[in-house]
Amino acid sequence: MNSDSISNISDSNKSIKNAIWLYLILIIFEGAIRKWILPELSNLFLVIRDPLALFIILEANRKNVDFSNKYLISIITIALFSFIATFFSGHGDFIVALFGLRIFILHLPLIFIIGNIFNKEDTLKIGKFLLFISIPMCGLILLQFYSPQSAFINRGIGGDETGGGFSGAMGYLRPPGTFSFISGSTTFFSICACFNLYFILNAREINRFLLTLSVLALLIAIPISISRTLLFQVIISALLTFIIITKQKKFRTNIIIAVISTLVLFELIQNFNFYNTAIEVLRVRLERANTAEGGIESVFIDRYLGGLVNAILNSVNQPFFGYGLGFGSNVGSMLLTNSRTFLISEGEWGKTIGEMGPLFGLSIIALRLGITLKLIKKAFEFVSRNEILPYILLTYGIFTIPQGSFSQPTSLGFIVVLGGIIIASFKNGNEINIDEEN
């Protein structure tokens, strides 16, 4: 493929690329709109990305972008069967069922469209953008952490003056940042951690000042978030990255510099009382949570494997085709019972089996795991070529792609973008290198 052809492909897909960037920007800022800017339109902005997702799909079809594959076709087929079954054995509410179906027919196809349209260069652009945003985002959650829930900056969805913070420790609540819920902030900084690790090892590809500030923002965000999930995820990503690069000589100098620089930054910020207070709050939360849940090992096993085991065991008492699409979401809960509660399960796998039944639910879980395993296999092939970006992104992707929440719009959006840029990171230029995923 000559340079003119590549240029023409890039130009023809410009509208799709711009729409994908807008999709990402809305993920980050739609919560801010729902809380502070247009709280009276909060419900509308909950699904503001749906028409954008439809536009991207229609544009991709119009421009003959090939994003169909066996995984996507299987997922959509199962979802359609489950949608029909909702009216025979499930809750039977059309709006709730449609809210559940939109996940599969509008948003999940974007994973493969992003993977087809974007490449490694685009992925790195997204990474730099997220690291830039992480700096003011850190400042925002710091203000939220130390502000009362009655403060404007802590207002909840729809301008709720009781506050949008979530349970923490020592009287401090977990700050959501621009997002509608703490999970958005946790996911955001988890992805930023992956890009921080990549650019630390490839410092020539980014402005050093931006990289330093973004690493500092991450170090501050971990205790300020009071999130065990973020703490564990950053540790896991760092360990998995360190394990894979120890045998690669080209990264050894950068590793030493990174470790020393991080330790220096950590020592510097420990001189500030605001940081030491946050560290103490996080420590107390860890102790309380570990005591309540049986320790760190129990938390990992229950959240990743135990969730599936419990979901299968609980399915015995559920309808064979489940309670119906959308039943396990907060929106479904509000529409069906007029209260925000988990009607099935807080865990994604439990919710999936509860909504779709053991046959369809386990099939969706198997397909999500299958996609993840394909990406892992391809990532290791690239590691052997000293290409580590896909692998580093997968240090978080292996958790969120198989079992991240589809029903929570922010979580769904980040899963879509992360899955897409992981696929895109396998590509240099516009050629497609992974036939299995595209």
68 has pLDDT over 50:
yes
This prediction's pTM: 0.91
Question: Tokens 């000589």 correspond to what residue?
Answer: 249
Host H or E run for residue 102: helix 94-102
Secondary structure element (H or E) that encloses residue 167, with its range: strand 166-169
The whole-angstrom separation of Cα 24 and Cα 191 is: 13
Q: Are 388 and 244 in contact (CB under 8 A)?
A: yes
User: Is 161 within a domain?
Assistant: yes
Strand partners, 135: none
Supply 67's token pair: 């994003």
Residue 175, phi then psi, degrees to nearest 5? -85, 135
**Residue 430 maps to a domain:** no
Which residues form the domain of 95?
3-424
Q: Is residue 280 domain-resident? A: yes
Q: 10 is written with which tokens?
A: 């890039």
pLDDT beyond 80 at 255: no
Instruction: Give yes or no for residue 342 having a pLDDT over 70.
Output: no
391 is a domain residue: yes
- pLDDT for 164: 67
pLDDT tens-digit readout, 69-101: 999 999 999 999 999 999 988 888 899 999 999
Helix, strand, coil % in the chain, rounded to nearest 5: 75, 0, 25
For residues 9 and 1, give the distance between their C-alpha atoms in angstroms, rounded to a whole number.
11
Determine, yes or no, domain membership for 57.
yes
Here the tokens at position 185 are 């902030």
**Range among 43-52, 240-249, 288-297 rated most confident:** 43-52
Burial of 432 (0-12, 13-18, 19+ CB in 10 A): middle
Under the banding of pLDDT at 50, 70 and 90, the label for residue 13 is: confident
- What lies within 8 Å, CB to CB, of 357 at 6+ separation is 82, 85, 315, 318, 319, 320, 321, 322
| 166 closest CA partner among 294, 45, 157 | 157
The three-state secondary structure class of 344 is: coil
pLDDT, tens digit (0-9, with 9 covering 90-100), for 108-162: 999 999 999 999 999 999 999 999 999 999 999 999 999 888 888 988 888 777 7
pLDDT band for position 395 (cuts 50, 70, 90): very high
pLDDT of 129:
98
Domain total in the chain: 1
List alpha helices for 384-408, DSSP H.
Answer: 389-403
What's the average model confidence in pLDDT over 31-44?
A: 89
**52, pLDDT greater than 50:** yes
Which residues, at least 6 apart from 188, have a Cβ–Cβ distance to it below 8 Å? 28, 130, 134, 137, 177, 179, 414
Least confident stretch, 19-23, 111-115, 183-187? 183-187
| C-alpha–C-alpha distance, residues 140 and 370, integer Å | 38
Residue 436 is assigned to a structural domain of this protein: no
186/197 Cα distance (integer angstroms): 17
Q: What is the pLDDT of residue 230?
A: 93
Q: What is the pLDDT of residue 8?
A: 47
In this structure, the number of other CB atoms found within 10 A of the CB of residue 92 comes to: 12
The reported pLDDT for the residue numbered 437 is: 43
What mean pLDDT is reported for the chain?
86
* 431 falls within a domain: no
Taking residues 161-187, what's their average pLDDT? 82
Whether 432 shows a pLDDT value over 50: the answer reads no
pLDDT at 435: 46
pLDDT band, residue 436 (cuts 50/70/90): very low
More reliable by pLDDT, 9 or 221: 221
At residue 1, the pLDDT reads 42
pLDDT band at 307 (very low <50, low <70, confident <90, very high): low
Does position 335 have pLDDT exceeding 50, yes or no?
Answer: yes
pLDDT value, residue 142:
95
Indicate whether 263 pLDDT > 60. Answer: yes
Provide the pLDDT for residue 30.
Answer: 92
What pLDDT score was predicted for residue 374? Answer: 96
Confidence bin at 4 (pLDDT 50/70/90): very low
Q: Does some domain include residue 438?
A: no
Would you state the pLDDT for residue 333?
78
